[in-house]
Structure 1
Amino acid sequence: MAAKLMSTDQIKGKLLQGAFTNNAPLVGRLSDPIVDTPMVLTLDQLRPYDHNPRLNRNPRYDDLRASIQSRGLDAPPPVTRREGEEHFIIRNGGNTRLAILNELWRETGEERFFRIHCLFRPWPSRGEIVALTGHLAESDLHGELTFIERALGVERAREFYQLEADTQISQRELARLLKQDGYPIS
């Protein structure tokens, strides 16, 4: 069967027709990756971890600031995002670096302080415990938590463990769980 040829007017009519329409629902945002994924995020998209055990300024703040200002960010913070949350948060250690980047961005307006490379790690099923023990370990190793900061962080971890287990946790069990999650204490 021979194909019917279109006239010039028919071709013009087809070309001038409206664009294809997409009746699919709009997606507010893409879902987060399900594996560790490098990302470039802006400071607008990042927030510090809200249960950060550090209450006082990091004693190494000025040294870290000078380093970031001259060299840039050598060790980008790992990030994650709770399900349903809009912003990414620091996963374990890096709240001081985030504060410094925000300060340098406000002072200089330099793009290198605003857009940073991060490693996104999916929010785990035990997210709050993993994040808090990660912050305790990182802060204690790299920035010397005070005794009270450490004690308050461990107490908050106890609360998270008790919520998870739906029972009271003894000091011995707390020490075992913290060690199991990467933050050994005596």
Structure 2
Amino acid sequence: MTNKLDMGVVAASILAANPSQSKMDIGKTPTLPSGFSMTVPVSEIDFFKWNPRRIHDSEEFEHLKESIREVGVQQPVYVTTPPGSDRYMLARGGNSRLLCLQQLLSETGDDRFSKIPAIYVEYTSDEDLLDAHLIENEQRSDMFFWDKAYAYAKRRDLFQDAEGKSIGLRHLADKFVNKGITKTSFSKLSVYLFAADTLQALGSLCIYLSIPKASDLRKTYNDLDLVYKNEGKTDEEAFQFFWNNCLENWSNINADTDDLDVPALQQFINERFAAEFDIKVDGGESKTPHSTPLPQQLSQEKTELEKNEPKLRPAATSKSENSANSDGLTANKSNLNSGTDRPQSDSVGRQPVDPAGGTIIPGNLSSPRENDTAADISFRYQFRAHP
């Protein structure tokens, strides 16, 4: 069966609304030469429909916004015109700069925020635009894990649609490299795609996923699936329904939390698995694999973690734990300045911002990124930053 990204579930998972667009009749946009520099009203530019960066850091976003408030947009955005459209569309990143101007214009009414410097590029295809946005965002700054998982799965779907068949992971990795999209390892790419295909039911909690967290959940999924099959059960749809139902229930129960507690979720899934399929070993214990934590283990492990966890980790020292490109090291921001001293770029950090609707999505100031460590996870048992 060919994996397919469920766009409806993905959209709901980050609570992103469509950007408000102007309905003014500006007539047909004339054909322009590629590379043409111009100034364009922000009301005439649409966000790219498959924009891969949908989660932005609130602190970084505000830094960019204040810089633009003081000196205007210093770096032009790239725009194009899709066939049959009389509007411009972002062609390579630029979502944060455009959103900042939209907000500043709405807040102040100052005409200097009504236009943005732009460079026109010729439209080729939506697939090429997605590639360009991915490359631009990866070069500028770290993307959140869930953003990258969504974008990679979408690009895989487009590759498969073009070839009319499912594409193996190694072949897909080669295609990504040939397009210049990513240097992500084969093993990490598999985690991104697993998350997009199998963890969507977590809904709004998806923004707290990271490489380690998704890897742990994949291990649980594979282990339980193996136990399920070893018991002679062959209804894969029933197992998948069980899995999605567990994630949905967990998401509903923890809708007001600001983290994804994977060990607790694993315990929840194990208990539901034993009850749902009545798979037991002698003595009445759940026949879940040893690699997946059992309730007793989780209780002991949590106690030990709480003994050693830090009392407070300042947000300023936790740059991008749930970034897809993070090396897992913390970054000291004491040498970073706000305002005009900072280069203007679309960047991402800790708390997410919906770049389409401009809504700040409440989140932990130290939300998990790609290389979230065990210490990072244990920290969240005690300290949570509520909006």
Q: Distance in 2 between matches of 1:178 and 1:42?
A: 34
| CA-CA distance at 1:30 after TM superposition | 5.1
| CA-CA distance at 1:138 after TM superposition | 2.3
| CA-CA distance at 1:143 after TM superposition | 3.8
Question: Which residue is equivalent to 1:120?
Answer: 120
Question: Which residue is equivalent to 2:131?
Answer: 133
Deviations 1:24-48 (A, max 9, x none): xxxx535422432112210121011
1:62 aligns with 2:76: no
1:128·1:160 contact (CA, 8 Å) conserved in 2? Answer: no
Counterpart of 2:171 in structure 1: which amino acid? Answer: E
Q: 1:30 to 1:88 in 2, by over 3 A?
A: closer
1:58·1:96 contact (CA, 8 Å) conserved in 2? Answer: no
Question: Which residue is equivalent to 1:183?
Answer: 181
Q: Which runs of 5+ in 1 are unaligned?
A: 1-27
Deviations 1:135-174 (A, max 9, x none): 2222233342111110110000111222233332222222
Question: Which residue is equivalent to 1:36?
Answer: 35
Counterpart of 1:86 in structure 2: which amino acid? Answer: D
| CA-CA distance at 1:182 after TM superposition | 2.0
Normalising to structure 2: TM-score of the pair?
0.38
Q: 1:30 to 1:138 in 2, by over 3 A?
A: closer
Q: Distance in 2 between matches of 1:92 and 1:77?
A: 7
Matches within 5 A, 1:14-163: 29=28, 31-59=30-58, 60-124=60-124, 127-163=125-161
Normalising to structure 1: TM-score of the pair?
0.76
Counterpart of 1:61 in structure 2: which amino acid? Answer: F
Counterpart of 2:89 in structure 1: which amino acid? Answer: I
Deviations 1:96-154 (A, max 9, x none): 11110100111122222112220010101xx2222112222222333421111101100
SS in 1 for 2:89: strand
Question: Which residue is equivalent to 1:168?
Answer: 166
Percentage identity across aligned positions? 25
SS in 1 for 2:92: coil
Structure with bigger gyration radius = 1
SS in 2 for 1:134: helix
The number of residue pairs the alignment matches comes to 157
Larger % of strand: which?
Answer: 1
Q: Which runs of 5+ in 2 are unaligned?
A: 1-26, 186-387
* Structure 1 outlier segments of 4+, above 3 Å: none
RMSD (Å), alpha carbons: 1.8
